[in-house]
Amino acid sequence: MTDTAVPMRPATAPAATGPRPAPRAARPAAGLPPADPEEGLEAGLREFIEELELALHQPLDPQDASALEQAVRGLHRHLRNLIGVQALGQRRAGPAGQAAAQIATQVRYLKAALADEWLLSRDWPGRALWPQHLLEAALFRSSIAGDRVLDDIEQLLADREPALRPLARLYLTALALGFQGRLRGQPDDGRLAGLRQELFQFAWQRPPGLGERDRPLDPQAYASTLSHLAARRRRGLSRWSLVWGASLLALLLCSELLWLWPTWGLRQALGELPGGPAATAPGPRATAPR
């Protein structure tokens, strides 16, 4: 992006005919963010990113110039309305004050800048037409997002204002999703990685990484555990228990041998009797001759 303002095109109503992508309408929840203002900001950015992903996967015919122009205008209008609806809902639910107003303005600008960079750098049919429909130009009458977003991040890290930590999380999300601004296309000198690390440190007040080995990755997974029950360890088998068990098994085997040894001859004699077990054993039945 350059430092010159992009001229606005007059708003025209789209034609009633011709195929166009059907962008998903803004969900009612966009105007009603969660009770926690910080969660509302993050949820709004996630919803906006979902709309961008959906727009990039819309089936469009690059050969149909009229339908493509109409689809790009519809996408511009949809994303612009979504930014406005989310800003209105967050203004109603969030606290008043200078910090809240600064966050609201920078969040709107960040969404417009992120959408413009995605739609200008991704491979989709309307990429060549999007420079005439930039959200930044429509909402802020400028085209300097590539410089301004990175400058705002550096200023945020220089001030380290605790009230602006929610904004640091949104900037970190944008950089993690691939926003590069004026650094796009330049050799990777680690500057973006450094900004991500500093934003993480400022937002969560700890160095990035897993940290301690015993720290859970997701505390929500432990929210329903029964922590009031004391852990019980099973008692292992002692050496004397094993000795007694082996002794009982040896006595059982000895008693069986003492029973079989003196009665072995008697068992054989009983088996040889006519009515003994050997005589009554099942065998082939003899049939009388006819």
Q: What does the block give as tokens for 114?
A: 């992120």
The domains found in the chain, sorted by start residue, are 28-183+191-209 (1.25.40.590)
Say if residue 16's pLDDT is above 50: no
Alpha helix locations (H) across the chain? 37-56, 65-93, 98-121, 135-140, 145-159, 165-176, 191-204, 239-260, 264-272
The pTM of this model reads 0.62
User: Would you tell me how many other CB atoms lie within 10 Å of the CB of residue 200?
Assistant: 18
Percent of the chain at pLDDT exceeding 70: 74
Mean pLDDT for the chain?
A: 80
On whether the CB atoms of residues 165 and 198 are closer than 8 A, the answer is no
Pick from 49-58, 213-222, 236-245 the range whose average pLDDT is largest.
49-58
Q: Per-residue confidence at 213, pLDDT binned at 50, 70, 90?
A: low
Q: What does the block give as tokens for 192?
A: 């973006």
Say if residue 161's pLDDT is above 80: yes
Say if residue 284's pLDDT is above 60: no
Compute the average pLDDT of residues 139-168: 95
Q: Per-residue confidence at 211, pLDDT binned at 50, 70, 90?
A: low
Indicate the burial class of 19 (C-beta count within 10 angstroms; 0-12, 13-18, 19 or more). middle
Compute the average pLDDT of residues 22-46: 60
| 197: DSSP letter | H
User: Would you tell me how many other CB atoms lie within 10 Å of the CB of residue 215?
Assistant: 9
Least confident of 30-34, 72-76, 142-146, 272-276: 30-34
Say if residue 2's pLDDT is above 60: no
